[in-house]
């Protein structure tokens, strides 16, 4: 055993010498710390992405050294006795010392536990994480938490803490605005959660610092540690109101817009547990679909970054002005048709921005939401009707409000009957913002009151609370439950159920329900 250990040490030493030569001028390898927690994401039936950051102990000094290699392991038990996969990863400065591993060969619908260790120092390891692969054929029931608009400076991440306590979730879906690029002047900051850096994030180093700050939050760390994330970016991971040629929050003094797009996308790829399968003009292409066996297909749209045309009142009737572009639209139509043809029970179309019709005088919905691209929206709804694609639920966010909407071709016309539900094609569940405040101009324009009085297809609209959406899925129905944080002004995990709606298979109407769905009794233990 001694000889084998010595040989291993020698081999490791050899590897490190090679690394030393590769990083000429540096001293011996640096020890590492795991101060940004662990994360996992983009599960499939047999693989999952694991993430951590191996921070070199001398980071920030004048001559930081190359960090030591990190060992990772995956086990079936929280004590990590029954190891099923392991390996090594050498972090470096080019990816900001982040570690990303795509673990393959796993079993479907199974909970796993994992950890990262420094190879040289016994006991120097990350917290234990917990993750779960997607089911293959036999899923009876699924539970997903949906979060969005998680602005660190705007309040405490109590919803992340609440989600971290749930042992029976299959995954957390983050619909974007994971970080906000805003500097300290953009938020009313009564909690000392001052953005780092202080100014708007513009450079690669700015965005990296901002992710590092968010990942230092204990509640966000816990949510990542306990559940795999399925993440889609929105505009604030780049700049407010982004489109493919600019952004509202990109001014000439911010330099090149193309360069900012590249560095923001790169920092996201480094820090988020996403699988980097394809790229578009230098950054990950994130629209994708995930299959939860025969129960659910999750189709994630990127209506913000990939190929979004600028919207304006003048382009509203132009059928070629799109938030998703031609290629992604073709892909979406095929995904929906294929899912129906496979006989999958439910199709969730995930969109960062609200899909349903919303018109408030004096509030420019058309520059932000699908409201700015009504021709594309109608094409998608027509596709569902023409191809007889049923059991579709749109899940969206970014209104900084909670809402439940019945989707009809024109909900303001007699073709839609809010009483009988005639004309309803699909339902939409809008996840609340976790902390970001709702748009003041929306409220100043009496938006909530206007919507309540004039939008019969809105069955629910809540602009008061902050929180998250839980979706419980089985073969008979989809149930959406909006959980509201008691406060975001201090750390406090308590939430209450604000509202719940059900959509029955074969019937797209929204039906209010009183009680929350029962937790799954057999939820695998949380990571210790
Ligand atoms: Fe947002």
Q: With H, G, I as helix, E, B as strand and everything else as coil, classify residue 325.
A: helix
Give me the residues paired with residue 427 across strands.
393, 406
pLDDT at 255: 96
Q: Mean pLDDT for the chain? A: 93
For residue 441, name the pLDDT band (cuts at 50, 70, 90). Answer: confident
Give me the residues paired with residue 128 across strands.
none
User: In angstroms, what is the span from residue 491 Cα to ligand 1's centroid?
Assistant: 21
Which residues, chain by chain, have CB under 5 Å from ion ligand 1?
149, 177, 398, 436
**With 80 as the cut, is the pLDDT of residue 495 above it?**
yes
Q: Looking at 136-145, 271-280, 362-371, which range is the least confident one? A: 362-371
User: In angstroms, what is the span from residue 465 Cα to ligand 1's centroid?
Assistant: 14
The CB density around residue 12, as the number of other CB atoms within 10 Å, is 15
**Which is it for strands 458-462 and 467-474: parallel, antiparallel or unpaired?**
unpaired
User: In angstroms, what is the span from residue 56 Cα to ligand 1's centroid?
Assistant: 33
DSSP codes joined into one string, 65-93: PPBPPEEEEEESSTT--SEEEEEEE---G
Q: Looking at 188-197, 257-266, 486-495, which range is the least confident one? A: 188-197
**With 90 as the cut, is the pLDDT of residue 432 above it?**
yes
Q: What whole-number distance in Å separates Cα of residue 237 and Cα of residue 179?
A: 6
pLDDT at 293: 95
| pLDDT tens for each residue of 73-91 | 999 999 999 999 999 999 9
pLDDT at 1: 44
| pLDDT tens for each residue of 178-216 | 999 999 988 777 678 999 999 999 999 999 999 999 999
**With 50 as the cut, is the pLDDT of residue 497 above it?**
yes
For residue 442, name the pLDDT band (cuts at 50, 70, 90). Answer: confident
User: In angstroms, what is the span from residue 147 Cα to ligand 1's centroid?
Assistant: 11
The answer to whether 429 and 501 have CB atoms below 8 angstroms apart is: yes
Q: What are phi and psi of 432, to 5 degrees?
A: -70, 165
Q: With H, G, I as helix, E, B as strand and everything else as coil, classify residue 516.
A: coil
User: In angstroms, what is the span from residue 104 Cα to ligand 1's centroid?
Assistant: 34
User: In angstroms, what is the span from residue 498 Cα to ligand 1's centroid?
Assistant: 20
* Closest C-alpha among 425, 513, 437, 2 to residue 189: 437
**With 50 as the cut, is the pLDDT of residue 518 above it?**
yes
* Closest C-alpha among 73, 71, 72, 31 to residue 55: 31
Q: What whole-number distance in Å separates Cα of residue 485 and Cα of residue 491?
A: 10
**With 60 as the cut, is the pLDDT of residue 280 above it?**
yes
**With 80 as the cut, is the pLDDT of residue 367 above it?**
no
* Closest C-alpha among 241, 180, 253 to residue 210: 180
Q: What are phi and psi of 14, to 5 degrees?
A: -60, -45
Q: What whole-number distance in Å separates Cα of residue 11 and Cα of residue 320?
A: 59
User: In angstroms, what is the span from residue 370 Cα to ligand 1's centroid?
Assistant: 15
Q: What are phi and psi of 172, to 5 degrees?
A: -110, 125
**With 60 as the cut, is the pLDDT of residue 14 above it?**
no
User: In angstroms, what is the span from residue 397 Cα to ligand 1's centroid?
Assistant: 8
Give me the residues paired with residue 51 across strands.
39, 100
Q: How far apart are the first and last CA of the chain?
A: 31
User: In angstroms, what is the span from residue 342 Cα to ligand 1's centroid?
Assistant: 35
Q: What whole-number distance in Å separates Cα of residue 99 and Cα of residue 53?
A: 6
Q: What whole-number distance in Å separates Cα of residue 64 and Cα of residue 399?
A: 43
User: In angstroms, what is the span from residue 180 Cα to ligand 1's centroid?
Assistant: 8
Q: What whole-number distance in Å separates Cα of residue 67 and Cα of residue 165?
A: 33
For residue 16, name the pLDDT band (cuts at 50, 70, 90). Answer: low
Predicted TM-score (pTM) of the model is: 0.94
**Pair of tokens at residue 8:** 């291993």
CA torsion sign for 8, 11, 15, 21 is positive
For residue 6, name the pLDDT band (cuts at 50, 70, 90). Answer: low
User: In angstroms, what is the span from residue 284 Cα to ligand 1's centroid?
Assistant: 21
Q: What are phi and psi of 217, to 5 degrees?
A: -70, 125
């Amino acid at each position: 055993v001694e000889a084998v250990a010595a040989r291993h040490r020698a081999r490791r030493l050899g590897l490190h010498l090679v690394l030393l030569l590769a990083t000429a001028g540096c001293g011996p390898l640096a020890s590492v710390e795991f101060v940004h927690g662990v994360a996992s994401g983009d599960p499939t039936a047999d693989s999952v992405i694991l993430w951590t950051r191996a921070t070199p102990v001398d980071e920030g000094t004048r001559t930081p050294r190359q960090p030591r290699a990190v060992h990772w392991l995956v086990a079936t038990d929280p004590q990590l006795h029954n190891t099923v996969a392991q390996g090594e990863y050498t972090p470096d400065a080019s990816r900001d010392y982040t570690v990303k591993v795509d673990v393959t060969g796993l079993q479907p619908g199974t909970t796993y536990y994992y950890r990262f260790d420094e190879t040289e120092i016994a006991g120097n390891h990350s917290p234990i994480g917990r993750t779960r692969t997607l089911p293959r054929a036999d899923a009876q029931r699924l539970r997903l938490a949906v979060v969005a608009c998680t602005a660190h400076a705007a309040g405490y991440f109590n919803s992340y803490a609440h989600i971290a306590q749930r042992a029976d979730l299959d995954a957390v879906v983050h619909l974007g605005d994971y970080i906000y690029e805003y500097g300290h002047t953009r938020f009313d900051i009564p909690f000392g959660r001052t953005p780092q850096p202080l100014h708007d994030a513009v450079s690669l180093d700015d965005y990296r610092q901002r992710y590092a700050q968010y990942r230092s939050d204990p509640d966000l760390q816990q949510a990542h540690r306990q559940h795999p994330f399925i993440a889609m970016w929105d505009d604030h991971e780049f700049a407010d109101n982004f489109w493919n040629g600019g952004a509202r929050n990109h001014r000439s003094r911010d330099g090149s817009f193309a360069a900012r797009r590249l560095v923001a996308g790169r920092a996201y790829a480094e820090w988020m547990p996403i699988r980097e399968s394809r790229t578009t003009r230098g950054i990950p292409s994130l629209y994708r679909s995930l299959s939860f066996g025969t129960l659910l297909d999750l189709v994630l749209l990127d209506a913000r970054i990939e190929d979004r045309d600028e919207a304006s009142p003048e382009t509203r009737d132009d059928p070629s002005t799109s938030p998703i572009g031609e290629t992604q639209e073709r892909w979406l139509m095929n995904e929906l048709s294929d899912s129906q043809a496979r006989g999958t029970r439910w199709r969730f179309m995930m969109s960062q921005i609200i899909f349903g019709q919303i018109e408030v005088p004096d509030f420019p919905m058309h520059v932000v939401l699908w409201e700015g691209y009504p021709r594309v929206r109608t094409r998608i709804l027509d596709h569902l009707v023409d191809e007889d694609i049923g059991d579709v639920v749109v899940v969206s966010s970014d209104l900084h409000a909670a809402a439940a909407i019945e989707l009809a071709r024109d909900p303001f016309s007699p073709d839609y009957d809010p009483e009988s539900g005639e004309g309803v094609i699909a339902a939409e569940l809008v996840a609340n913002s976790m902390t970001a405040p709702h748009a003041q101009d929306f409220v100043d324009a009496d938006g909530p009151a206007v919507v309540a009085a004039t939008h019969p297809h809105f069955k629910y609209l809540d602009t008061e609370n902050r929180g998250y959406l839980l979706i419980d899925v089985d073969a008979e129905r989809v149930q959406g439950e909006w959980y509201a944080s008691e406060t975001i002004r201090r750390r406090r995990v308590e939430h209450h159920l604000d509202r719940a709606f059900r959509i029955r298979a074969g019937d797209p109407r929204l039906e209010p329900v009183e009680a929350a769905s029962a937790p799954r009794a057999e939820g695998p233990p949380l990571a210790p």
